[in-house]
Structure 1
Amino acid sequence: MRDLDETDVELLSLLAEDARRPFSELGEAVGLSGPAVSDRVTRLQEAGIINRFTVDVDRSQLRAGVPVFIQVELDSAAVETARERLRDADGVEHLFVTAGGDVWFYARAEAQNVREWVARLFEGIDLVDYTVTLVDDVEWTPTVDGVEFALTCAECGNTVDSEGETARIDSEVYHFCCPSCLSRFEDRYQQLEEGA
């Protein structure tokens, strides 16, 4: 899969709204058969465009803590450590890293003492500063509308178009903008394997 066509983008949009829709229903919406939709979804998964299907849990219905939005200012060396810790932390639902290197996240904190909860989350990580904002309401509406999709060359970072190449190397799918990028990538990959 090199180019994403309008049908692929429409399927992504429909799946973003409800990933549990049957392929037959998706097919009716885009003018394809159920098996054709299944093939396209499989190709989108193999291309790494669809990473997983998930559940959007409304935690407010479960009464799981106080909803907060936290902005954290860290030393740049600590950003990746903080990101990894927050990714696995209970209660953290959405994690963002700004271009300036700040970490922002939406979570459901323990109601008793938010300061202690944050201190435990960042234990051993030097915090410069942080701000906690109590959230009144959350609306999460993932969409692919208005976004232009393009695959990126694994070798040079250029956009992969219809002239590009796709290769499976050790069960991973990689996309390349041209045959020479594919060749350079394969050569370097082989050298790394031989040196290992």
Structure 2
Amino acid sequence: MRSLDETDLEIIALLLEDARRPYNDIADRVDVSAPTVSDRIDRLERLGIIQGFTVDIDRSSFSDGIEVLIDVALCASQNGTVTTDLAAVEGIEHVFMTSDARLLAVGTLQSQDVGPSLLSALDAGQIESYRVHLIQERAWEPSLADRSINLTCESCGDDVTENGRSLRFDGGLYHFCDRECRSAFEDQQTPLAESS
């Protein structure tokens, strides 16, 4: 595996500005061919650096609801699917779980539907309390702050360089600095898989 170079970072920055930008436009800006841009974007997706291309929709322009931020304080006992359960509610666009057991969601809902939507997605015993805030204004400006992306070895924590290896395992993508670290990781996972 090759490490990310300046061309990769420029491609990522251009996609952050406009994810629908044509490959030939990107190619002109980074001085490579359009097929090279396509290959690099495919590689960045395989590495898990680019996880998808999305559309940011203003639901309030075609929905009867209002845009709200829902802040849910969860009880200590909860299942591991609360984020995906809440994300499945019609009108919910983004869901975040914080380290202090708070569930934050942004969506466009009718005000009278917030409580029933929460109870349809989560068990009442999981909810300690919740608050609903009307969103007045929002901004989202993704960027590469220091224009560097370093992959870290799953085994030893070192940076992954051109000698690196990747492994898809149990639904995840893992990166390693070399063959030995990948082998060590696989050896640690084998007993877990055999005991299941």
Distance 1:159 1:86 in 2: 36
Displacement after TM superposition at 1:89 (Å): 1.9
Displacement after TM superposition at 1:76 (Å): 3.7
For residues 191 and 164 of structure 1, do their structure 2 counterparts lie closer, same or farther at Cα, with a shift above 3 Å needed? farther
Q: Percent identity?
A: 36
Maintained 8 Å contact 1:2/1:166: no
Maintained 8 Å contact 1:74/1:102: yes
Displacement after TM superposition at 1:87 (Å): 2.4
Maintained 8 Å contact 1:82/1:125: no
Q: Which runs of 5+ in 2 are unaligned?
A: none
Displacement after TM superposition at 1:141 (Å): 2.6
Displacement after TM superposition at 1:51 (Å): 1.6
**What pairs with 1:118-157 in structure 2 (closer than 5 Å)?**
118-146=118-146, 148-156=148-156
Cα RMSD (Å):
2.7
Partner of 2:115: 115
TM-score (norm 1): 0.83
Q: Which runs of 5+ in 1 are unaligned?
A: none
Deviations 1:44-72 (A, max 9, x none): 01111112222221212212411111111
Secondary structure of the residue that 1:132 maps to in structure 2?
A: strand
For residues 122 and 191 of structure 1, do their structure 2 counterparts lie closer, same or farther at Cα, with a shift above 3 Å needed? closer
Partner of 2:160: 161
Distance 1:103 1:42 in 2: 33
Displacement after TM superposition at 1:184 (Å): 0.9
Displacement after TM superposition at 1:115 (Å): 3.1
Distance 2:50 2:59 in 1: 24
Read off the aligned partner of 1:175 and give its amino acid letter: H
Q: Which moved more, 1:45-54 or 1:174-183?
A: 174-183
Read off the aligned partner of 2:5 and give its amino acid letter: D
Maintained 8 Å contact 2:168/2:174: yes
Secondary structure of the residue that 2:143 maps to in structure 1?
A: coil
Read off the aligned partner of 1:6 and give its amino acid letter: E
Partner of 2:44: 44
For residues 64 and 141 of structure 1, do their structure 2 counterparts lie closer, same or farther at Cα, with a shift above 3 Å needed? farther
For residues 159 and 108 of structure 1, do their structure 2 counterparts lie closer, same or farther at Cα, with a shift above 3 Å needed? farther
Matched, 1:70 2:70: yes
Partner of 1:26: 26
Read off the aligned partner of 2:28 and give its amino acid letter: E
Q: Which moved more, 1:92-101 or 1:1-10?
A: 1-10
Q: Which moved more, 1:37-46 or 1:90-99?
A: 90-99
TM-score (norm 2): 0.83
Maintained 8 Å contact 1:27/1:37: yes
For residues 44 and 85 of structure 1, do their structure 2 counterparts lie closer, same or farther at Cα, with a shift above 3 Å needed? same
Distance 1:62 1:164 in 2: 50
Read off the aligned partner of 1:8 and give its amino acid letter: D
Deviations 1:88-128 (A, max 9, x none): 22211111222322111111122444333333333344211
Secondary structure of the residue that 2:81 maps to in structure 1?
A: helix
Partner of 1:103: 103
Displacement after TM superposition at 1:194 (Å): 5.6
Maintained 8 Å contact 1:165/1:178: yes
